[in-house]
Structure 1
Amino acid sequence: MRARRLTGSLTCLVVLTLTAAGCGLSGGGSDGGDATAGGCKVDKGNVGSGKLSGDVKGKITFQTTNLKKDFGKYFNGVIDAFEQAHPGTKVNWIDDPGDATFTQRLVADAQGCTLPDVVNINVNTAVALTKNGYLLNLDDKAPDAGKPFAPALWKSSMYADGDGKKVHSVLPWYSGGIVQTFNTDLMEKAGLDPAKPPTTVLGLFDDAEKIAKASDGKYYAFLANPQLRIPADWQQMDIKILSPDGKKFTFADDPKTAQWVEAMTKLYKAGGMPRDSLSSTQDPANVYGQGKLVYGPTNPNFLRFIQQNNPSVYKKTGVAPFMLDALGHTVGAPQYIGVASTSKNASTALAFAQFLTNAENQLAWAKDPNVVIFPSTTASLNDPFFQSVKGDDPFAEARKIVASDRKTATADEIALTPGELNAISAQIQLAMQGKKSAEDALKEAQSKANQLIEQGS
């Protein structure tokens, strides 16, 4: 399982690095009665069957990713409350800057048997750490851990262990949400009804063609670079992008993918996208803020950006539920909290992880005006903060929509590595320029992407 919208994709790098190190998997004890997890000696209660037991006391280390600068007050408050509720505990909070070498540093910690007791990780890192035995198997160690979370999200937040069995090894934390955003004035100019936004991906392209005909190049539906739309569009269309084991791309085998490429090609030729945006890396938020795009980015945080930087465009911005299409729900990889199986105080680490991710603490952070996040617990999502939102401005509407959406969203979001994304996009760009048929472009894209999987890059 791979994730994309919120995180980068370094799964292959992490897995290869861990495997190359010769680390073992969670398993039984040694001759001395010790157990091992990821090649590290651990308390035998941390692995195998049986619920985790032990007193909640002692010191643990809690690591976040680039959160201390902006949210120090919140996290220090959570830590203080936990320590007061559990005398004799001490939580040492460290904050990784989250730069390009974050994953490598975390891998090195895991290999050195010094993974932080409680760690904030993305899906890709969760995949690697679970496979190599570095995270507690919560199905065994905390069988009731999933009760607070939205059922669809909890059910889908499972990753394969060393034997290939999917287990719960992380607690869902926060996510960014997803909505449709659009310039209502431009929609009306194109003869579209802002009260009836598209409900399918191909329906969006149909509306975009109307925009192309009406705009005469003065504004556009969205940018042309396919990297902005794949694999998210494909997933909503329920295209089988990968084989069930994740070892082979299969998107070219589904005729719906060719329909998507043909729709992109037709729209590009019709002038529904800026000609110079086919391979451009320009930010759609900036172009939307200039009043030149009908459809804006899908992250609700984008609305804050527009509100602050282009208030006149913000007033014209409409918000609607994201297209469920053939998938029937949205997907969105949350940030996770994992508990190290190598922890010397695993009971304390687990207790803190559950305290941090409980409904009360998640809701408190979601209410911070400096952040646009959505919680993962059912009780948090049911709170009046989300369900009885005052106002009808775009951001208020987005908050109501996403809070409802999070109850059915899954964590099954697919990610592409940068190499895979580039290889696939390059072929689609050729098709959009009329240099290849959709079928030929997709076959070549799939072949090149599968070569990258085989090479582990």
Structure 2
Amino acid sequence: MLSRSFLAAAFAFSLLATGCVAGTSGATEGGSDQPFEGEVEFWTINLKKNYSGYINGLIADYQKQHPKVTITWVDVPGQESATKLLAAVASGEVPDAVNVSSIELGRFVPSLEPLDAYFDQSALADFQANLVEPLRTGGKLYAVPWYNGGAPIAMYRKSVMDRVGFDPATPPTGYDEALALADEVYEKTEVNGFNALPDHNTLRYYGVELLSPDKKKAAFNTPEAVAVLEKFKKSYEAKGIAPGAVSKDVRNLPQTLENGQVAFKAHANAAELLNVQKNAPDVYKDLVVTPPVQMSTGGNLLLAQQAFSIPKASKHKKAAAEFIKFFTNGANQLAFCKIVPIYPSTVSSTKDAFFTGVSGADPMAVARSVIVKGLPGLKYVPIGTAKDAELGELISEEVRAFLTGTKSAKEALDTAEKRWNDALA
């Protein structure tokens, strides 16, 4: 699902695709399927309304270069994407190239074609290696990267941070430093520091493993996790963390950068900066953008990325692979990044002046530079179950109970552990 608010909240990134049977104008997979012959049906998610000009232009260019190929584009509403792909797989009438989200990839692997025979090392050379490897299962490649939400950034309100002597050249590098800064901000300015809560991803930033190696049991209920929760509780009570941060409605928190009631976000995505630019232009002008807090091992988590796969039942696998190579090449990804706030999976795209030629202090321009510099350090490591989103919310519910005084940190983790194990069972 792609829009100008591309990575809003919890990464509502649950995307896949849909469609109908591929055409039969070309040869079948029996042995004469040619790379540049036949009808290739490919699916995207929620792109036609705003980006049909870009995609139809690519299709026209490709068909001029390969006149024996017909590209049929099917665009699917995000909420229907997984359901329709499941139906297509069940019927055997599948697309040839399908846009998948890395979040959903695992459930479809049994129905997808391994891509190693179609994408050798030279074909993968321009992709960020750290974005390719997570798309392998059992040593086989089941998708190639397309776009992502980019590395995170941090945003600080200069008018508040100047009052505590904050130096944007040396921002917090970890959550401990961010918590200390938040407490200092409230103590000296009576403006809440930030809205951060210790969710399952925060635990990962502290090096806490979420699951057992076989992914069948929760593994986060440790003394280290208790200590993390206690640190956040201390800051919550000191009002470094805003009181409304415990709201379940994360899209409408009472205290935000936009309404001027928090001083910074130590870990944010590009869509959040866009929202500030659109909804609070005065606040936007007051922002300075820096690198975000990182994991204890360095780098940042990538919550999801968009990719392309080829179903096993496709009758035009070679032709589909060739079109995917064209559609996701560096030049075409760069062109897409220039019309929508997304980030490329190709190294060559990031070397363009659009990303490297940053001048001045405009927050969006600085953010592009920060994000691209952070791309090589991104780590896409999902929880790795079919219930990742559900599990994340289960632990957040218990953390909110802890912060509001209903449970101790150990009680919250005990309950979360049981709920995870029940869900996994």
Q: TM-score range by the shorter chain?
A: 0.7 to 0.9
Are positions 1:151 and 2:124 aligned together?
no
Please give the secondary structure, in 2, of the residue aligned with 1:81.
helix
> Could you list the per-position Cα deviations for residues 376-412 of structure 1 after superposition, in whole angstroms to 9, with x for gaps in the alignment?
0111112222112233211101101111111232322
2:136 paired with 1:168: no
Amino acid at match of 1:298: A
Change (3 A) 1:7 1:342: farther
| Amino acid corresponding to residue 170 of structure 1 in structure 2 | A
Q: 1:408 is aligned with what amino acid?
A: G
Q: Are the equivalent residues in 2 in contact too, given 1:172–1:376 (CA < 8 A)?
A: yes
Alignment counterpart, residue 350 of structure 2, candidates 370, 378, 381: 381
- Contact 1:188–1:194 (Cα < 8 Å) also in 2: no
**Paired amino acid for 2:119:** A
Shift in CA distance, 284/260, structure 1 to aligned 2, threshold 3 Å: farther
Give 1:81's aligned residue: 61
1:50-449 equivalence runs, <5 A: 54-99=34-79, 101-130=80-109, 132=110, 134-144=111-121, 145-158=123-136, 160=137, 165-177=138-150, 178-216=152-190, 219-223=191-195, 226=197, 230-253=199-222, 255-283=223-251, 287-296=256-265, 298-332=268-302, 333-368=304-339, 371-414=340-383, 417-449=388-420
Query: Structure 1, residues 282-310: CA drift from partner, whole Å, max 9, x if none?
Result: 53688211111112361112222222221
Aligned residues of 2:15 and 2:101 also touching (Cα < 8 A): no
**TM-score (normalised: structure 1):** 0.81
Number of residue equivalences? 401
Residues 223 and 284, structure 1, Cα contact 8 Å, conserved in 2: no
Per-residue deviation, 1:183: 1.3
Q: Distance in 2 between matches of 1:127 and 1:202?
A: 34
Q: Which amino acid aligns with 1:169?
A: Y
Q: Percent identity?
A: 29
> What is the RMSD computed on CA atoms of the aligned residues?
2.6
Residues 204 and 295 of structure 2 are in contact (CA less than 8 Å); yes or no, is this contact kept in structure 1? no
- In structure 1, how many angstroms separate the alpha carbons of the residues matched to 2:141 and 2:415? 36
TM-score, length basis structure 2: 0.87
User: Do the aligned partners of residues 236 and 282 (structure 1) sit closer, same or farther apart at CA in structure 2, a change above 3 Å counting?
Assistant: closer
> Whole-Å Cα distance in 2 between the matches of residues 393 and 102 of structure 1?
37
State the alpha-carbon separation in 1 of the partners of residues 15 and 270 from structure 2. 25
Change (3 A) 1:292 1:258: same
1:418–1:203: structure 2 CA closer, same or farther, 3 Å change rule? Answer: same
Q: Secondary structure at the match of 1:283?
A: helix
Q: CA deviation at 1:372?
A: 0.3
Q: Is residue 2:14 matched to residue 1:43?
A: no
Q: Distance in 2 between matches of 1:340 and 1:84?
A: 26
Given the superposition, is the C-alpha separation of residues 356 and 404 from structure 1 closer, same or farther in structure 2, using an over 3 Å criterion?
Answer: same
Tell me how far apart the structure 2 counterparts of residues 409 and 79 of structure 1 sit (CA, whole Å).
31
- Structure 2 SS opposite 1:213: helix
Unpaired runs of 5+ in structure 1?
Answer: 15-41, 46-51
* Partner Cα separation in structure 2 for residue 10 and residue 401 of structure 1: 26
Per-residue Cα deviation, 1:400-434 (whole angstroms, up to 9, x for no partner)? 11111112323224476443233212222222133
Tell me which residue corresponds to 1:17.
none
* Aligned 8 A contact 1:7 1:122 in 2: no
Give the superposition deviation at 1:188.
2.4
**Is the alpha carbon distance of 1:156 and 1:5 closer, same or farther for their aligned partners in structure 2, counting shifts above 3 Å?**
farther
Residues 335-391 of structure 1 deviation map (CA, whole Å, 9 limit, x = unaligned) = 1111222111111111111111111110111112xx101100111112222112233
Distance 1:213-1:109 versus aligned 2 partners, 3 A rule:
same
State whether residues 212 and 267 of structure 1, in contact with CA within 8 Å, keep that contact through their aligned partners in structure 2: no
Q: 8 Å contact 1:265–1:434 — kept in the other structure?
A: no
Separation (CA, whole Å) in 2 of partners of 1:7 and 1:166: 28
- What CA distance in whole angstroms lies between the structure 2 residues aligned with 1:324 and 1:414? 18
1:52-100 deviation per Cα after TM superposition (whole angstroms, max 9, x unaligned): 973421101111100011111100111111111112100111110112x
Alpha carbons of 1:282 and 1:334: their partners in 2 closer, same or farther (altered >3 Å)?
Answer: closer
Gaps of 5+ in 2: 1-6, 18-27
Distance 2:95 2:395 in 1: 37
